[in-house]
Every structure is written in C-alpha cells, then in structure tokens.
Amino acid sequence: MDDFQIDAAGWSFLDDPAGYIKPKSGGLQIEPLKRQFNTVKEILARLADGRGVLLADDVGLGKTTVGALVAWVVACQNKRVRIYAPNEVLRRRWAEELERHVPMLKSLGAHNDRIKQGDVGRLNPGRIQVTTHHALVKSHGEGQQRTTCDLMIIDEAHRAKGDGSAFNEALSKLGDCAKRKLILTATPFSIRLAELEQLLRFAGATQLDAVGRYASEMKRLYTLGEGHDVAAERRARLESNQ
C-alpha cells in the first residue's frame, strides 16, 4: 500500500465547526460549515482507504470550501497537492479560498507561502499547486515529473467531454501520477451516464453495474410515452420493493 496515511490530529479541528468560526474566518457560517466539515471527514477517510473520491453536489453547496480544506489537511501532512480549475477566474477563486483558511489553520502549518500558482511544474512536499485544466493539457506529454503529486483535485471534471477531448486525454494519461484523486463535478443528473462512468473510473471505481442499472431504469421511466405518470410509476415501484 502506498504512503497516504494522515495523522488524525491533523484534522481533529473538523470535530468542532463552532470553534472554527472566528472574527477572521472570512464570512464562514456555522450551519453550512457543519455539513462541509462532515463531508471533508468522509472524504479524508475514503482517501486513506482507497484510490479516489467523486463529489457530485449542486452549485452553492460549497465544493470549493470542501476541496480547500481537504487540500490543507493533506498539504500540512507534508504531501503534495495539485488543484486543476476549469479557467483562470476559478483558479483565482480557489487560491482565495485556500488563503481564507490560513488564519484558522496556522497551528497545523498552513501558510500562504505553501500555495503555488501558475504553470504546472515540480512540486515540493507540503505545497499546493493551483492551476487550470489548460495547464494540465499543456503539461501532457512533458513527462510525469510535471504532474506527480499525492493528491490531485479536479474541479468541474464533467468538462472532460467525450473520449476525444484534449482534457480527457490528459486526465487519462496523467491520472496515474497522483496517489489519490478528488473529483468535483455536477450532480449525476446533470451529465450523461458515459461521462459519469468515465469520472468514476478515473477516481478508481471498478464495479459500475449499479450505475448502469439505475440509468436503464431512469431511461425506461422517461420513455414510456406521452401522458404516462412518471411520478405514479416511481411510487408504485418503491412500494413494491418495500
């Protein structure tokens, strides 16, 4: 097994979201933070036990906050983190989100100097690279040295449309350079089944039969013809399975 163990003391702060809220907490609010902290704890546990995690949430639920907290916990364990945002605007947003948590995580070793922005390049332990999808594509073919890391975070990974896209090709070729992967994407209802399966495979999933069965059932329900009561059909099937 590769070395991806995280000292529990490095994320014990996640058990006390109320204590995390301070005057310098950058507008963080306790209720969404409780849910985000629980999500971060679950992600860290799964990363320790497996190869990767796919987080599919609606817009506005704080995927960037969750990803930033995961990145800080991993980086403060002297590991290398690379974050790929879809464009320069969101790259800056990621950098700002990482910086927002520095005051609360200084005791763990968080510092603005740990954040590296710009083109993909050699990354020292304990650093967080924040760059773009385009930079990942650009680094494709330039050697594994440019993408090697302990944790790779891909924001809006559903933008890897189709097997022929340059971004998807780069992900496929360079994904093995990361010990663990955190994939942030739209909800499964917002992307095609083939795209969802592709992202799950990239995260390390091998058993996808249940995804296929679910997709087949949804397709059957919504192709039964005009005037068919989909909601009633769904309720009837749920009742029959109880």
Is the torsion defined by CA of 33, 53, 149, 164 positive or negative?
negative
55-82: pLDDT as tens digits: 887 766 789 999 999 999 999 999 999 9
Q: Which of 184-188, 222-226, 229-233 has the lowest mean pLDDT?
A: 222-226
Distance between CA 200 and CA 194 in Å, rounded?
A: 10
- First vs last Cα of the chain: how many Å apart? 41
Instruction: Please tell me the predicted confidence (pLDDT) of residue 135.
Output: 80
Which residues on adjacent β-strands are paired with residue 53?
182
Instruction: Please tell me the predicted confidence (pLDDT) of residue 109.
Output: 93
User: What are the CA-CA distances from residue 205 to residues 51, 126, 200, 210 (Å)?
Assistant: 8, 27, 5, 12
Helix, strand, coil abundance in the chain, percent, nearest 5: 55, 15, 35
State the pLDDT confidence band at 202, using cuts at 50, 70 and 90. Answer: low
Distance between CA 176 and CA 241 in Å, rounded?
A: 41
Short-list 230, 160, 240, 235, CA closest to 202: 160
| 61, containing H or E segment | none
Instruction: Please tell me the predicted confidence (pLDDT) of residue 224.
Output: 58
Please answer whether residues 160 and 171 qualify as being in contact, where contact means their C-beta atoms are separated by less than 8 angstroms: yes
| Verdict on whether the full-model pTM lies above 0.95 | no
Residue 1 predicted with pLDDT over 60:
no
Average pLDDT over residues 94-123: 89
Is the torsion defined by CA of 18, 21, 22, 23 positive or negative?
negative
Residue 213 predicted with pLDDT over 80:
no
Q: Which of 12-16, 33-37, 163-167, 217-221 has the lowest mean pLDDT?
A: 163-167
What is the per-residue DSSP string for 140-153?
Answer: TTS-GGGT-EEEEE
Instruction: Please tell me the predicted confidence (pLDDT) of residue 49.
Output: 80
209 vs 41 pLDDT, higher one: 41
The token pair at 57 is 């949430």
Mean pLDDT of the chain: 79
141-177: pLDDT as tens digits: 555 456 788 999 999 876 655 544 676 777 767 667 8
State the pLDDT confidence band at 7, using cuts at 50, 70 and 90. Answer: confident
The token pair at 4 is 């991806």
State the pLDDT confidence band at 234, using cuts at 50, 70 and 90. Answer: low
Query: Which residues, 6 or more positions from 189, have their beta carbon under 8 angstroms from its beta carbon?
Result: none
182-191: pLDDT as tens digits: 988 876 555 6
